[in-house]
């Protein structure tokens, strides 16, 4: 299977230059990365956490982590934006799950902040291209992906909340992601 | 799990939708499998499109910039300063090495030498006019000291009297504002060492609580100690 260079891969020269400057301790390079990608990082954190102050904490955490260990960014694997947004999602999910674990530990019923299974809430604010790609998915696949990605839930937890077998949810997510990969191929970040 | 099984999990891994045992297995597999690393990169490309490219929150850059300066300061503190602050150094030597902090803070890994540097810095800040210096006390013994400088950089220096927690628990520091809001200032770990936090604003008090590992967004209060007399 041959692979062609995608637009997002073409931006890596700039990204690698910024990363190299960060590695050499140039704080202006980090600020440049922040100005370019801080909005995307915050928007990802907001989608999961839905609280401004927590999302800003994640933004801070992501860029300080990049400053402390810029070598973790590998420009052959994708853009700097993708790298930073991916870290932001992981950190946001960690916060959500810590809160979930607290509820379970205290044997309490989660409050209304529990992620809704109404994926419309999550997908409403997405850009046109991404929203269209999500809209083209079967409802069941879109819902499973939205609950996992925007709700910070594991597929096991998604299955529990939807009352479906874990294997079914796993298959839906996998199928939906495969379709998204095809429909969004070539979309630049 | 076979390569095929792991490959099936990659899209879920990219969504952060795996739980720990499976995620760890995927992590191990990725170290040696270029095919799966490539698939993961492509999956991350899809997930990153779910973020919007709005304006960067410029006020957060000030916090980042400040925190980096603070990290650099902690690395260049010299031995003379540390000797001068012997009283502060003496309480840190048994400290653990990790502090995970959010709410205006960071994730830091401190070596023992780094611990000493932080303690020395805290001592210097404590001597400055306008700094807030307070003790978390349990049974008449200080379990941790809090120092907050006028520049908004704070330090938490646990003492030997702070009991270690099980690994699934953590200590968490909270700032109490004059209008009685309680805001997380950092997750300190199960066996905290000296760590930093940032807080720019008025402070009416601090709280130290025990929480589930990873910290919580809001606490219902397994309060270890409360400081309200600032």
Q: How far is B15 from chain A (nearest CA, A)?
A: 5
Extract the residue ranges of chain B whose pLDDT is less than 50: 76-113
**pLDDT cut 70: percent of chain B above it:** 81
> Which residues of chain B does A51 touch, with a Cβ-Cβ cutoff of 8 Å?
217
Note the pLDDT of residue A96: 86
Interface of B with A in 50-69 (CB under 8 A): 50-57, 60-61, 63-65, 67-68
Domain carrying residue B15:
3-48
Strands B169-176 and B205-212: antiparallel
Hey, which residues does B212 pair with through a beta bridge?
Answer: B169
Q: What are the tens digits of pLDDT across the range A107-159?
A: 554 444 444 545 555 555 567 788 888 889 999 999 999 999 999 999 999 99
State how many domains chain B has: 2
* Cβ contact, residue pair A38, B37, below 8 Å: no
Asked if the structure places residue B79 within a domain, the reply is yes
Is it the case that residue A188 has pLDDT exceeding 80?
A: no
Tell me the CATH class for A9-112: mainly alpha
Is it the case that residue A40 has pLDDT exceeding 70?
A: yes
Judge whether A8 is closer than 8 Å to chain B, CB to CB. yes
Judge whether B103 is closer than 8 Å to chain A, CB to CB. yes
> Which residues of chain A does B49 touch, with a Cβ-Cβ cutoff of 8 Å?
127, 129-130, 184, 187, 189
Interface of B with A in 144-163 (CB under 8 A): none
Is it the case that residue A166 has pLDDT exceeding 70?
A: yes
**Which of B191, B134, B120 is CA-nearest to residue B161?**
B191
Ramachandran category for residue B103: left, alpha or beta (phi over 0 → left; psi -120 to 50 → alpha): left
Cα atoms in the 13 Å half-sphere on the side-chain side of B48: 28
* Cβ contact, residue pair B64, A34, below 8 Å: yes
Helix runs in chain A, H state only: 7-10, 12-23, 27-49, 52-68, 80-105, 119-123, 128-135, 139-149, 155-162, 166-183
B7 and B68 inside one domain: no
Is it the case that residue A37 has pLDDT exceeding 60?
A: yes
Asked if the structure places residue B157 within a domain, the reply is yes
Is it the case that residue A102 has pLDDT exceeding 80?
A: no
B26 and B79 inside one domain: no
- pLDDT mean across residues, chain A: 81
Q: What pTM does this model have?
A: 0.60
SS3 call for A25: coil
Judge whether B107 is closer than 8 Å to chain A, CB to CB. yes
Interface of A with B in 69-98 (CB under 8 A): 77-79, 81-82, 85-86, 88-90, 93-95, 97-98
Q: CATH: 2.40.10.10, 2.102.10.10, 1.10.10.10, 1.10.287.110. Which one for A115-189?
A: 1.10.10.10
**Which of B53, B10, B42 is CA-nearest to residue A185?**
B42
B65 and B157 inside one domain: yes
* Cβ contact, residue pair B16, A170, below 8 Å: no
Q: Which CA distances in Å does A20 have to A23, A72, B161? A: 5, 12, 44
Reported confidence tier of residue A170, pLDDT bands at 50, 70, 90: very high
- The pair of structure tokens assigned to A121 is 């809430």
B32 and B105 inside one domain: no
B88 and B40 inside one domain: no
Note the pLDDT of residue A5: 35
* Cβ contact, residue pair B16, A149, below 8 Å: yes
B120 and B155 inside one domain: yes
Spatial distance between the Cα atoms of A130 and A53, rounded to a whole number of angstroms: 26
What φ, ψ does residue B182 adopt, rounded to 5°? -115, 115
């Amino acid at each position: 299977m041959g692979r062609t260079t995608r637009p997002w891969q073409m931006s890596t020269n700039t990204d690698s230059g910024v990363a190299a400057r960060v590695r050499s301790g140039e704080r202006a390079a980090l600020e440049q990365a922040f100005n370019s990608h801080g909005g995307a990082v915050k928007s990802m954190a907001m989608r999961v956490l839905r609280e401004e102050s927590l999302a800003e904490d994640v933004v801070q955490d992501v860029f300080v982590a990049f400053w402390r260990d810029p070598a973790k960014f590998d420009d052959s694997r994708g853009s700097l934006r993708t790298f930073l947004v991916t870290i932001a999602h992981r950190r946001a999910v960690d916060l959500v799950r810590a809160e979930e674990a607290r509820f379970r530990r205290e044997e309490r019923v989660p409050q209304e902040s529990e992620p809704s299974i109404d994926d419309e809430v999550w997908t409403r604010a997405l850009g046109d291209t991404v929203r269209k790609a999500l809209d083209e998915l079967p409802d069941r696949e879109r819902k499973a992906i939205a609950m996992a990605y925007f709700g910070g839930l594991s597929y096991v937890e998604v299955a529990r909340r939807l009352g479906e077998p874990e294997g079914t949810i796993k298959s839906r997510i996998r199928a939906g992601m495969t379709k998204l990969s095809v429909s969004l191929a070539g979309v630049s970040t | 799990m076979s390569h095929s099984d792991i490959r099936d999990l990659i899209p879920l891994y990219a969504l952060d939708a795996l739980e720990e045992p499976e995620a760890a297995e995927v992590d191990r597999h990725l170290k040696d499998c270029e095919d799966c690393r490539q698939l993961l990169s492509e999956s991350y490309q899809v997930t990153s499109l779910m973020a919007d490219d709005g304006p960067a929150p410029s006020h957060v850059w000030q916090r980042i910039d400040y925190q980096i300066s603070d990290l650099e300061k902690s690395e260049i503190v010299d031995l003379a300063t540390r000797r001068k602050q012997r009283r502060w150094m003496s309480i840190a030597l048994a400290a653990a090495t990790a502090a995970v902090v959010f709410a205006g803070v960071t994730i830091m890994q401190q070596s023992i030498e780094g611990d000493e540097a932080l303690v020395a810095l805290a001592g210097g800040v404590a001597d400055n006019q306008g700094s807030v210096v307070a003790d978390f006390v349990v049974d008449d013994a200080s379990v941790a000291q809090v120092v907050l400088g006028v520049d908004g950089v704070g330090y938490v220096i646990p003492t030997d009297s702070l009991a270690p927690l099980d690994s699934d628990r953590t200590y968490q520091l909270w700032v109490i504002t004059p209008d009685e809001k309680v805001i997380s200032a950092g997750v300190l770990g199960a066996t905290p060492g000296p760590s930093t936090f940032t807080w720019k604003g008025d402070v009416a008090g601090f709280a130290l609580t025990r929480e589930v590992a990873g910290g919580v967004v809001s606490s219902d209060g397994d309060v270890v100690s409360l400081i309200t007399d600032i």
